[in-house]
Amino acid sequence: MDTPGATARPRFQVTIEDSGERFACAEGLPVLKAMTALGGRGIPSGCHGGGCGVCKVRVLEGDYRTAAMSREHVSAEEEAGGVALACRLYPASDLRLKVLGMMHRAVEARRYGLV
Amino acid sequence: MGVMRIGHVDLRVLDIDEALNHYVNILGMIETDRDDAGNVYLKGWDEWDQYSLILNPSDRAGMNSIAYKVEKDSDLDAFEKRIADWGVAVDRVAAGALHNCGRAIRFNLPSGHEMYLFAEKAFVGKSVGAVNPDPWPEDIKGAGVHWLDHALLMCELNPEKGINKVEETTRFLREVLDFYLAEQVTAGPNGEIQAATWLFRTTTPHDIALVGGPRPGLHHLAFFLDEWNDVLKAADTMGRKGVKIDVTPQRHGITRGCTIYFFDPSGNRNETFAGLGYLAQPDMPPITWTEDQLWRGIFYHVGEEAGSFTSVYT
Ligand code: FES
Ligand SMILES: [Fe+2]
């Protein structure tokens, strides 16, 4: 019998190489969504729509598919080479990722108000 | 005479069906037209011109251009001259080049954003009509936004290199297009850097806003709602539909607006903005927010950076 809220979907393990952070991501869920839902912070989180580019990662290992991503942030060559936006990245196996996005901007001290 | 209000924004989207679902079913805009290039035109129920938003299918997100409506056709000639005299290149655009609009002029703001001025656009009318109208239409969807209210443009700010496109663009808007300054943020050791501005032509605190950042872009498009309770209901709709919310309902110190920041399915930031703030008039003394109170100005309750306000935009 099904427990309410339980999911029969397969879950994959996502490992962020930079921080060693590991979390589960159900099939059909974008990696960034799975991470933020669990309170993870290893990948910078922004628009969740493939438009802003802050969640850019390189997939070092594993199978996946992606939804539309802004060409401003991921070129066709990069895409072919395993670069993706984590908010548009759906795992099809366990994944190992390296963060390429603009994490440094979030921690760098601002000198002039907003920049 | 002069600029009346924001006319429309031409917005790039990665998936037109997802974008339409967002702007129609979640924000409550109305599709009014399409063209052969696949662009879709939308308006709010309280707007009378044919469209205030163009959804442009593209392989990237962000804004193509922003347009303001002037009162008289002859204003276009006057502005063409003033813009050129200020040293900005300006083109004449034939009637129809802007979809269902009369002739227009086109130029780039000092910040690099492309802007159009036009005087005429096809008329559709408010959903409630103009004779004995109801206060709101019955078939409203989602947040039921009234109109496109303003846009916030990110402008390059790099004081070490002597670049301040906020200051330059603000000066252009005031000196050439007769915008008025409602509020500003000052930064730097002696507050000498104008880091953000809010400018108006209507009687509300802003019809355009400029904020300094590392590169130019679109920070957000804002849609008008009556009041705080509408903001809460809009957030309920977003929660139900799984919209990515950046900043939950709260109050801006700057402009006094009640706000939610969220993203469309292509990652373009939207805002639903309620309340007219205060009566903005040409003789109103501009309000200044100092760097130490900057975040109080932006998010009045917490007084801290929330969401991904300055680092994330398209
Ligand atoms: S969070 Fe903006 S592109 Fe992924
Ligand atoms: Fe706004």
| Atom in ligand 1 nearest the alpha carbon of residue A52 | 2
In chain B, what's the furthest Cα-to-Cα distance? 59
What residues flank ion ligand 2 with Cβ within 5 A?
Answer: B 222, 271
Q: In this predicted model, which residue has the larger pLDDT, A106 or B33?
A: B33
Is the Cα torsion angle A38, A41, A44, A45 positive or negative in sign? positive
Distance of alpha carbon B144 from alpha carbon A31, whole angstroms: 32
DSSP label at residue B159: G
Would you state the pLDDT for residue A6?
57
Residues in A closer than 8 angstroms to B310, CB to CB, are 114-115
What domains can be seen in chain B, in order of their start residue? 3-118 (3.10.180.10), 148-298 (3.10.180.10)
Using the beta-carbon criterion (under 8 Å), do A48 and B263 form an inter-chain contact? Answer: yes
For B88, half-sphere exposure in the C-beta direction (CA atoms, 13 angstrom radius) is 26
**Confidence label for A92 from pLDDT (cuts 50, 70 and 90):** very high
| Residue-level pLDDT, tens digit, chain B, 314 residues | 899 999 999 999 999 999 999 999 999 999 999 999 999 999 999 999 999 999 999 999 999 999 999 999 999 999 999 999 999 999 999 999 999 999 999 999 999 999 999 999 999 999 999 999 999 999 999 999 999 999 999 999 999 999 999 999 999 999 999 999 999 999 998 999 999 999 999 999 999 999 999 999 999 999 999 999 999 999 999 999 999 999 999 999 999 999 999 999 999 999 999 988 899 999 999 999 999 999 999 999 999 987 788 889 99
Give the three-class secondary structure for B120.
Answer: coil
- Look at A104 and A16; give whichever has higher pLDDT: A16
- Which CATH number belongs to the domain containing residue A28 in this structure? 3.10.20.30
User: Does the beta-carbon distance from A51 to B314 stay under 8 Å?
Assistant: yes
* CA distance linking residue A58 with residue A16, whole number of Å: 10
Give the model's pLDDT for residue A108.
56
Tell whether A1 is covered by a domain.
no
Strands B30-34, A83-85: parallel, antiparallel or unpaired by DSSP? Answer: unpaired
Residues 6+ apart with CB under 8 A from B220: B151, B152, B261, B268, B269, B270, B271, B313
Q: What is the pLDDT of residue B310?
A: 83
Q: Tell me, yes or no, whether A2 lies in a domain.
A: no
pLDDT in tens, A37-66: 999 999 999 999 999 999 999 999 999 999
Q: Do B244 and A52 touch (CB under 8 A)?
A: no
Q: Nearest Cα to B65, choosing from B98, B94, B29, B88?
A: B98
pLDDT in tens, A81-90: 999 999 999 9
Are the C-beta atoms of residues B303 and B251 closer than 8 Å to each other?
no
List residues of B with catalytic annotation. 150, 206, 220, 252, 261, 271
Give the residue, A6 or B234, on which the prediction is more confident: B234
- Burial (CB count within 10 angstroms: exposed 0-12, middle 13-18, buried 19+), residue B177: buried
Chain B: residues touching A (Cβ < 8 Å): 14-15, 59-62, 157-159, 185-188, 193, 195-196, 211-214, 244, 246, 263-269, 291, 294, 308, 310-314
Measured CA to CA, the distance from residue B247 to residue B149 in angstroms comes to 18
Provide residues with CB under 6 Å of ligand 1: A 32, 45-48, 50-55, 85, 87; B 267
Distance from CA of A18 to the nearest CA of B (A): 21
Query: What is the residue whose two structure tokens read 């227009």?
Result: B104
Q: Look-up: residue for tokens 């795992």?
A: A91
**Domains of chain A: total:** 1
Both tokens of B248, joined, read: 């939950």
Which residue segment(s) compose the domain that A25 sits in? 11-108
How far CA B142 is from CA of B1, B148, B225, B227, B272, in Å, comes to 36, 15, 12, 15, 12
Query: What is the pLDDT, as a whole number, of residue A106?
Result: 47
**A3 found inside a domain:** no
Rounded Cα distance between A23 and A14, Å, is: 5
Q: A111 is written with which tokens?
A: 């000198």
Q: Which of A50, A111, A114 sits opposite B310 (nearest CB)?
A: A114
- Domain membership flag for residue A28: yes
Assess if residue A45 is contained within a domain: yes
Report chain B residues whose CB lies below 8 A from the CB of A86.
none
Q: Mention every residue, 6+ apart, whose C-beta is less than 8 A from residue A73.
A: A52, A53, A56, A85, B60
Check pLDDT > 60 for residue A1: no
CA A26 – CA B263 distance, rounded (Å): 23
Beta strands in B24-61 (DSSP E): 30-34, 40-43, 53-57
- What backbone phi and psi angles, to 5 degrees, belong to A63? -105, 150
Residue A10: its pLDDT value, please? Answer: 86
Predicted ipTM beyond 0.90: yes
What is the reported pLDDT for A109? 62
Which of B53, B44, B10 lies closest to B143, judged by CA?
Answer: B44
Distance CA B279, CA B182 (A): 10
CB contacts of A115 in chain B (<8 Å) are: 157-158, 195, 212-214, 310
